[in-house]
Structure formats: structure tokens, C-alpha cells
Amino acid sequence: MAKKNVSPRKKKPVSYTYDAIIIGTGPGGEGAAMNLAKQNKKVAVIERYKDVGGGCTHWGTIPSKALRQTVSRLIEYNANPLFSGTDKPKHFTFPDILSHADAVIRKQVRLRSGFYDRNRVEHYCGEASFIDPHTIQILRNDGSVEQITAEKILIATGSRPYHPDDIDFSHPRVYDSDSILSLTHDPRHIIIYGAGVIGSEYASIFRGLGVKVDLINTRDRLLSFLDDEMSDSLSYHLWNNGVVIRHGEQIERVEAKDNSVVVHLESGKKMRADCLLFANGRTGNTADLNLDAAGLKADGRGQLAVSNTYQTQVENIYAVGDVIGYPSLASAAFDQGRIAACAMTDDCSNAKLITDIPTGIYTIPEISSVGKTEQELTEAKIPYEVGRAQFKHLARAQIANSLVGSLKILFHRESKEILGIHCFGENAAEIIHIGQAIMQQKNGGNTIEYFVETTFNYPTMAEAFRVAALNGLNRLF
């Protein structure tokens, strides 16, 4: 008797609670959640803090920039000839200026909560951890546990300040860049260890409040990734305002007392201050995710390796933001989340992060850069020229009494293509985008001649581009 041909039984499709689960509601998580929601996907976000926004909103970008804005206006008031001599200088304490930051944080939370509500993204509050590559356990604050599943999962848990084991961060005079926001007393002297972006920004903030600042830099120059002129400008400006910078130093030990902190350096130096802000390095927030259950492993800095579409080594799991390392910018994280969402729904997606990501450093004054530095162009043997504009020569800067700063444009001597733009001064992070827009033009549209051929409002800070372009073109022969 002939056997009947039996067709293989079709696999029953797996049923998941959601199309995608996003762990973390910072810029990366928000960018992914909003993109997926717009594609009519069923999305859930998990946030361990009581409010959405992530570290960017609550401990990092938003509060530090709000503090910086208040201090900058205070410095401007005290330096303005219209007010000087009429009264004693205004003085605020650190707790005083925190109130403005708190108000901004509350507005940001309301705004971002509205995004999730309007787009029908379900919000879970609790600690997330993997059960398997498709299943997440949520431990709520009340101790209850819930499990949800999804076809795709995105890790956007951000980072936290690095804590060496031999420093007691529970001591009331020892802070990191998160806990400094809980500072309740008015220090007269602070030591900041770590002169990266965070350390340099807080050095500006505290010095602007009249606090004596010692800034310890583990490297031989400030923010060495910057163009040398920008780094030198910041160093000079901090020094000129009274910040003591010690380069090439490492902490040996910290002696925290009831009334002070003594920092012992490996070079044999000792420094004493009212408190210490440790701002040297960050660690990806992956320790509590139970990554092993998902088949993932983080590196020694708590970071995950990803492809150019932000896919991890596990096919259905993606990661964006600080948890994957460079460039560790809120602006880039949002775009990474958006790009990862595209890849989740379309294997052939061509979306990618731009090559020239602008950098904004909110010291006082600001620094902002996009494109190549002079050092990089020299090393690559690219024939470039430089165009400069000093803010003190601009009518708008004179009117606003914002005379410190400059704009520098690097361009190819032959093609006149703009290769890099570097700005130091008030509103540098805004000014840079004018140049960035031209740099992104294709088919020969990116040339320094644009700034000469267009007409700028007068008086404006944007006029610096025309002045710098003329300066650079005049160098050609």
C-alpha cells in the first residue's frame, strides 16, 4: 500500500505581548518608541525611575545645562556696566540655582510623558531584567513581579558615574555627577576630579558662583578630542577666572573627614576642600539586566557591542545610547533609537547616523565643533586653510557685551569644501548649526563661498560666518 504524502505541519506563529519593548526612556528609548508607534506597532517602555526622561532629563544634560544657564546670566548681570556700581554683586548658592533646574525637569517630564500617552505607548515603572531573549521581567517598587514578551527588544538604559571601590561615595562630602544635584550646603572650595566634558562644565558652574575650584585632569590637556585652539581657549578662560587646573594627575586615595575632604595624588601632592566631585568616567547600566539569560555579555565598562543598525549579537535585541559607548551624546542617542526602530521593522533599512556629529560643550563660554580638527587634517596631509572671526569685532557681540569667543572655519584650499567648524563663545552650540547645514550639502553645495555670497541679518552672531569666510578666502593665493 502506497504511503500518503503528508505535508509538514506548519509552525504556529509565536504570540507576543508587544511588537517591541524599550528598556529605558532617555533620548534613545524615546526615539525608538516614537518611531515604532508611528509605524502602528504595539510598544511598551520600561523605566525604573518614577518619571520618564532617563538620566538625560533627571541627572545629566537637562539639569547641568539649566544650572549653567542660571550661572551664565548671573555672571552677565554682575559684569554688565549698566548694573555694576549700583549695588553689591548678586550672589546665589548652589541650592539656590537648583530650583530653576528642578522647574525645567518638571516641564520636560510633562512634555515627554505626553508623547508616550498620545502615541499609546504603554509605560511600566520598575526594574527590567531578561528571562530569555523575548521575555522581560519587571520588578515593581511595591515588590510585585510581572513578565511581558516582545518580538523585538531595545536596550536604552544609559550610563551612570563610575565609582572606584576605594572611594566612599556615601560620605556627605563626596559626590558624583548625579549626586551633586543633591548638594544642600554652600561650599567655598570644591575639588573636581576628571576634566572631561562633565568636569569642565561643573568647574565653570561652581567658579561662576564664586566657589574656589581645583580641577584635576588625568590627561595632559583639557578635552583633547577638541581642536587644539578650542582646548587652549577653554584652559585660558578657566585659568583667567581663577580655576586651578592640574594636568596629568591621578588620585591615590581620598580622605573624607567631617569638615573637609583631602585628596592625595600619586605625584605626592595633597589638596583639601569642602567637598569632592568625582567626574572621571561612566559605566553602562547593564549590571541588573541579567544579560546572560538573553545570551548577551557586556564589556568591562558595562557596554554592549552593536552593528551599524544597533543590533546586538542576539538577532532580536538592539541597543542604543550611552550603553553602547561613543559618541555618548543625547542628540545622537535619539537618532540611534530612531534608526534602530527602522531596522527592527525593515531588514533592508538604509537609515544611518550622520558622519559629522556636532559636539556641544556647555562650559562658560560654550564650545561647539563639527567636522575635522586642524590636527586631523594635518596628519592626513589635506591642504586646508583657516578662516577666523573674533566675536569682539561683531556688532551683536558688542551690543550683548559677549566679547569672549571666536569662530574658526577649516576648508580645502582647492575645492573650498568646508572640512570643520569650531566655535568658542556664548551660544556656540546654536551658532555651529548654520555651518553644519552647509557642510551637509551635496553635489558641490558645500563650499565656504556660500557665506560670502549670502546675506546675513545685521547685527547677528551668525555674521561671524561671513567674516570668517572672507578672512579665510583672503589667505588663498
Q: What is the CATH number of the domain that holds 419?
A: 3.30.390.30
Same domain, 468 and 377: yes
19, 36 contact by CB (below 8 A): yes
> Does residue 97 lie in a domain region?
yes
User: What is the enclosing helix (H) or strand (E) of 151?
Assistant: strand 145-155
Rounded to a whole number, what is the distance in angstroms from the first to the last CA of the chain?
95
Q: Is residue 201 part of an annotated ligand binding site?
A: yes
Same domain, 469 and 377: yes
Please count the other Cβ atoms lying within 10 Å of the Cβ belonging to residue 445.
Answer: 11
> Does residue 274 lie in a domain region?
yes
Q: Is residue 50 part of an annotated ligand binding site?
A: yes
> Does residue 355 lie in a domain region?
no
Same domain, 224 and 316: no
Alpha helices in 193-244 (DSSP H): 197-208, 228-240
Q: What is the CATH number of the domain that holds 145?
A: 3.50.50.60
> Does residue 2 lie in a domain region?
no
CA distance 428 to 431: 5
Place of cell 562633565: 198
Q: Is residue 227 part of an annotated ligand binding site?
A: no
pTM: 0.93
67: which 3 cell numbers? 544650572
Q: Write the CB contacts of 419 (distance below 8 Å, at least 6 apart in sequence).
A: 371, 372, 377, 382, 384, 410, 411, 412
Residue where a domain stops, chosen among 224, 256, 280: 280
273, 191 contact by CB (below 8 A): yes
Residue at 155: amino acid letter: I
CA distance 419 to 425: 20
Q: Is residue 196 part of an annotated ligand binding site?
A: yes
Same domain, 38 and 98: yes
Q: Is residue 242 part of an annotated ligand binding site?
A: no
Q: Write the CB contacts of 406 (distance below 8 Å, at least 6 apart in sequence).
A: 233, 388, 389, 390, 391, 423, 424, 425
Q: Is residue 65 part of an annotated ligand binding site?
A: yes
Residue 187: is the preceding peptide bond cis (ω within 30°)? no
Same domain, 312 and 233: no
pLDDT beneath 70, residues of the chain:
1-13, 84-88
User: What is the enclosing helix (H) or strand (E) of 97?
Assistant: helix 94-118
Q: Is residue 174 part of an annotated ligand binding site?
A: no
Structure letter (DSSP) for residue 476: -
Q: Is residue 322 part of an annotated ligand binding site?
A: yes
The domain total for the chain is 3
Q: Is residue 255 part of an annotated ligand binding site?
A: no
Same domain, 24 and 144: yes
Q: Is residue 199 part of an annotated ligand binding site?
A: yes
Please count the other Cβ atoms lying within 10 Å of the Cβ belonging to residue 377.
Answer: 20
Residue 1: its pLDDT value, please?
46
417: which 3 cell numbers? 569644501
Q: Is residue 144 part of an annotated ligand binding site?
A: no
Full residue range of the structural domain in which residue 296 is found: 18-161+283-345
Q: Is residue 233 part of an annotated ligand binding site?
A: no
Same domain, 296 and 157: yes
Short-list 57, 56, 59, 70, CA closest to 99 = 70
Q: Is residue 369 part of an annotated ligand binding site?
A: no
Q: Is residue 49 part of an annotated ligand binding site?
A: yes
> Does residue 298 lie in a domain region?
yes
Q: Is residue 29 part of an annotated ligand binding site?
A: no
Residue 3: its pLDDT value, please?
47
Q: Is residue 195 part of an annotated ligand binding site?
A: yes
Q: Is residue 143 part of an annotated ligand binding site?
A: no
Same domain, 62 and 31: yes
Residue 9: its pLDDT value, please?
52
Residue 11: its pLDDT value, please?
54
Q: Is residue 157 part of an annotated ligand binding site?
A: yes
Place of cell 569642602: 274
Which residues face 251 on adjacent strands?
265
> Does residue 11 lie in a domain region?
no
Residue where a domain stops, chosen among 229, 260, 280: 280
Place of cell 511598551: 44
Same domain, 387 and 307: no
Structure letter (DSSP) for residue 20: E
> Does residue 178 lie in a domain region?
yes
Same domain, 271 and 222: yes
Same domain, 149 and 261: no
> Does residue 354 lie in a domain region?
no
CA distance 238 to 219: 16
Same domain, 76 and 207: no
Q: Is the dihedral of CA 434, 436, 439, 440 positive or negative?
A: negative
Residue 119: its pLDDT value, please?
96
Q: Is residue 200 part of an annotated ligand binding site?
A: yes
74 HSE (CA, 13 A, CB side):
24
CA distance 261 to 255: 6
Q: Is residue 321 part of an annotated ligand binding site?
A: no
Residue where a domain stops, chosen among 226, 260, 280: 280
